[in-house]
A and B are shown apart, each in its own frame.
Chain A
Amino acid sequence: MAYVNFKDKHYHHPDEAMIHSTTVDLMYVKRDFPILYKPVHNQPLVYLDNAATTQKPQSVIKALYSYYTSKNANIHRGVHSLSEQSTLAYESAREKVRQFINARDAKEIVFVKGATEAINLVAQTFGKLAVKKGDEIIVSELEHHSNIVPWQILCEQNEAILRVIPMSDSGELQIEQLDAMLNERTKLLAVSHVSNAIGTINPIKRIIQKANQVGVPVLIDGAQATAHLGVDVQALDCDFYVFSGHKMYAPTGIGVLYAKKKILETMPPYQGGGDMITRVSFKSKTVYNQIPHKFEAGTPNIGGAIGLGAAIDYLSKFEMNQISAHENQLLEYATNALQQIPELQIIGTAEHKAGIISFVLDDIHPHDIGTILDQSGIAVRAGHHCAMPLMERLGINATTRVSFGLYNTFTDIDRLLSGLQNVLRIFKPN
């Protein structure tokens, strides 16, 4: 079987240095992720597409296996033992999420499919009620489509206006313009914590403060943040914070909407069905369940929630700032190395960035780069990264994007660099 033998430690010095520089051995984290040992085109996999989705540690896979082999039953209904165990496991995952983002109350944690569903939920419940004709919603120029389109739909439904915080050439939000944009018609501000396309860490604390000063609720799209930065929703004081499990080492199909209790309680239901009601009648008014169940119609992704809980347990083995520091080192090393390639231009050079680098390489199309790198077992993302307005703003069609997770190493970056030399050999032979 072809795989990297980590015991041999035949690695470049930065990785060796890292072994000694961190208390918990992040170098060996790779071992917790079985898929990273799967050869791709007969080469050890270098997975640099973590902003799209992360790989799953053995403990998360085990949690799913264990749930389906020993606990599976529907929740909040049965009186039998399995249903009780399943309910306990599901609700304990909710409590883990609460702790992870430091919410006040587990009732403020709504399980959804992912960040996209969470934003749609807020748009179609809170938004539909709060936003009237002529009102305004603010987003930013660097948003993922999932934090644009739900608001465009709402604006069309309610005849409201979508306003956009502009971005500088380096990929930083021009938040000094926010003061002039916020007014009595602004009903919500929705902005991402970290840009998925270019890695900018937005100054969300300042943005939230500005909005709160004039009483405007704020939704933070944390899809690219929760696996990489510590998140404390009480310290941030945002009204909504949304994220996806699969981008933080948990399974796909599970995500979280955090909303302040006082807001969640005023929101109408999103979908109707089982579990979101206390009483249904044709003769009298149907009574909805308490929060958060009111927003979880139908049998939820129980296994997924338990998997998310296991991913949080896994992340809790480390300090979040340790993970950030590790990914920062990778970012710095990769940025410096990529800048040595004269034909390469990094897109997005904000001062504060997470472990995401977008770049263009001469006139070589990112899809060709992606295919050639893949032949060397290197997985990257090529395209517009579901952020077409951002691409439009920068005047480019597509970029190649590498994004780091806690298991990436300096060796991975060295492999990327030699892969890019291969691309140049094919496309620019002279």
Chain B
Amino acid sequence: MNELSELYEEIILDHNKNPRYFNNIPEGSNRTAEGDNPLCGDHYTIHLTVENGIVEGVGFEGSGCAISKASASLMLESVLGKTEMEATELFKGLHGMLTGDRSHESDSVEFGKLEVLNGVCKYPMRIKCATLAWHVLNAALKNTEQAVTTE
């Protein structure tokens, strides 16, 4: 039970029950990416409105377990208002934290509330649940970059 409460902390359960920016397409949405975990069928689409390099609006749709949904909700909450670069750094830092790859560790990345996701580290089978939304975010951030280069 004790270990479980580290995984299913109050804040995770709260964001699962009341996901922020869920089923929301932000006004002027200009970046969208989707991703799934074929092993479990979790599927999310993330929408961003990026203006002048700043994430001005966020939203997500899809379905999955409590960990994946809470992770998406917490993620969008924390990237809103950040620059693209900051958001990318947050992705790299968090991905490193969860997968044990510390190569992108940086003092400038402050996890804040996101520290709660660290509880998943003890559950190797569930790490992908926590990182799914982050990979989708990364794709959404990159997508436009690619579009820009092709144009």
- Is B3's CB under 8 angstroms from A365's CB? no
Chain B residues with Cβ under 8 A from A398's Cβ? 40-41
Known: A371-B7, A371-B123. A382 touches B13 (CB 8 A): no
Task: Mark B118-142 against chain A: 1 for CB-CB distance below 8 A, else 0.
Answer: 0000010110010000000000000
Chain B residues with Cβ under 8 A from A365's Cβ? 64-66
- Is A383's CB under 8 angstroms from B41's CB? yes
Chain A residues with Cβ under 8 A from B8's Cβ? 368, 372, 426-427
Per the 8 Å Cβ criterion, residues 59-97 of B in contact with A are 63-67
What is the bound-complex CA distance between A375 and B122, given in angstroms?
A: 12
- Is B13's CB under 8 angstroms from A397's CB? no
What is the bound-complex CA distance between A421 and B7, given in angstroms?
A: 18
- Is B7's CB under 8 angstroms from A384's CB? no
What is the bound-complex CA distance between A379 and B58, given in angstroms?
A: 38
- A-B contact count, CB below 8 Å? 44
Q: Is B147 an interface residue (CB 8 A)?
A: no
**Residue in B3, B7, B40 whose beta carbon sits within 8 Å of that of A382 in the complex:** B40
Chain B residues with Cβ under 8 A from A371's Cβ? 4, 7, 123, 125-126
**Residue in A367, A375, A397, A427 whose beta carbon sits within 8 Å of that of B129 in the complex:** A367
- Is B13's CB under 8 angstroms from A426's CB? yes
- Is B126's CB under 8 angstroms from A427's CB? no
What is the bound-complex CA distance between A132 and B143, given in angstroms?
A: 44
Chain B: minimal CB distance from A96 (Å): 35
Known: A365-B66, A367-B129. A397 touches B41 (CB 8 A): yes
Known: A367-B126, A367-B129, A384-B41. A426 touches B65 (CB 8 A): no
What is the bound-complex CA distance between A126 and B63, given in angstroms?
A: 41
Chain A residues with Cβ under 8 A from B63's Cβ? 397
Q: Most chain-A Cβ atoms within 10 A of its Cβ — which of B1, B8, B40?
A: B40
Chain B residues with Cβ under 8 A from A427's Cβ? 8, 13, 66
Chain A residues with Cβ under 8 A from B67's Cβ? 367-368
Chain A residues with Cβ under 8 A from B148's Cβ? none
Q: Give 9 new A-B contacts, CB below 8 A, not counting A365-B64, A372-B4, A397-B63.
A: A367-B42, A368-B8, A368-B67, A371-B126, A375-B3, A375-B4, A382-B40, A391-B41, A398-B41
A interface with B by C-beta (< 8 Å): 364-368, 371-372, 375, 382-384, 388, 391, 397-398, 422, 426-427
